[in-house]
A = this chain, B = another copy of it.
């Protein structure tokens, strides 16, 4: 059966459980608590009467703004027609896999990685192939990993969920080159770009123009509920992508698209980046004495904590922590095979997080 190997997106179940406690501390869900830019909120009221469908690729002025953003940020030139606006990056994964992979083909994913990747693949009868990454390789897939596996496509995310690591420019370049040589489609999830704290992230498009790049407005732009993502497809795939978008989505929310026209608000985005950097620094410093943390996260808003000195079962650890001290985290198995890890999201204000750490410290008897 199509759905028998699907795993629940555990974090969504934890969100529901955590909502039962008024005093819960939230490290579970990967959504910013910061409001979108005031310009975005204003645009909602100004465009409330925009109730019709848009083009299936999405509003042309928005695709033009995104193309300009790529030029300004990465110095890459893409055509607005290569961009498809999608219902969240969720929709972008469906498009990417449908375009790049036929039934029965194999998608390489890192273990750990964002849980929806494998599940979306399975719904589309694509076989996910997990490749273990760890502290040893700085949580990056490398050309060596690719050489050892038969793959039809490879997906990475950088900065990554759940580890917060960043691919080095050289490794990203080498990885894309190796994939290209072997005829492996390359899919780069760049949803956390903008949220990097020490170095700037490179786009896969800087190294090759035949990759699939996925991004969206849910994280850096603080617009998760708008459900608006995008995919940049190779020029040869534009028409096919458009046909898929027509049939699978018609278009993403029109109002979200109008609001997103105001999302490229540089001053606001700078503040967002600054807030998350402060939160990362605060949470990292507070958790280091309690858990083994393989690396200080360089981006996104996650911290990947090894809990093996307390437990080898992250699910039970997270369940008990939520039940006993109302602190919600996501067990590592939501992202792959790592049972002795949990993921902390630093998406709330520092005092809220520090209250959580205080409870954890006491609970662990430290």
Q: A54 contacts which chain B residues (CB < 8 A)?
A: 225
State the CA gap A54–B223 with chains docked (Å): 12
Residues of A225-261 contacting chain B, CB below 8 A: 225-227, 240, 242-244, 246-256
* Cβ of A124 under 8 Å from chain B: yes
- Is A102 touching B1 in the complex (CB atoms < 8 A)? yes
Quick one: closest B residue to A253, CB to CB?
B253
Quick one: closest B residue to A47, CB to CB?
B44
What's the minimum C-beta distance from A292 to chain B, rounded to whole angstroms?
Answer: 30
* Binary B-proximity of A46-61 (CB < 8 A = 1, otherwise 0): 0011111111100000
What's the minimum C-beta distance from A8 to chain B, rounded to whole angstroms?
Answer: 5
State the CA gap A75–B92 with chains docked (Å): 39
- Is B225 touching A9 in the complex (CB atoms < 8 A)? no
Q: A226 contacts which chain B residues (CB < 8 A)?
A: 51, 253-255
Residues on A facing B (Cβ under 8 Å):
1-3, 6-9, 12, 15-16, 29, 31, 35-36, 41, 44-45, 48-56, 87-88, 90-91, 94, 98-99, 101-103, 115-116, 119-120, 123-125, 222-227, 240, 242-244, 246-256
Other than the known A3-B243, A94-B248, A227-B252, what 10 A-B pairs have Cβ atoms closer than 8 Å? A3-B240, A7-B243, A35-B49, A53-B225, A98-B123, A116-B247, A120-B247, A120-B248, A124-B125, A255-B255
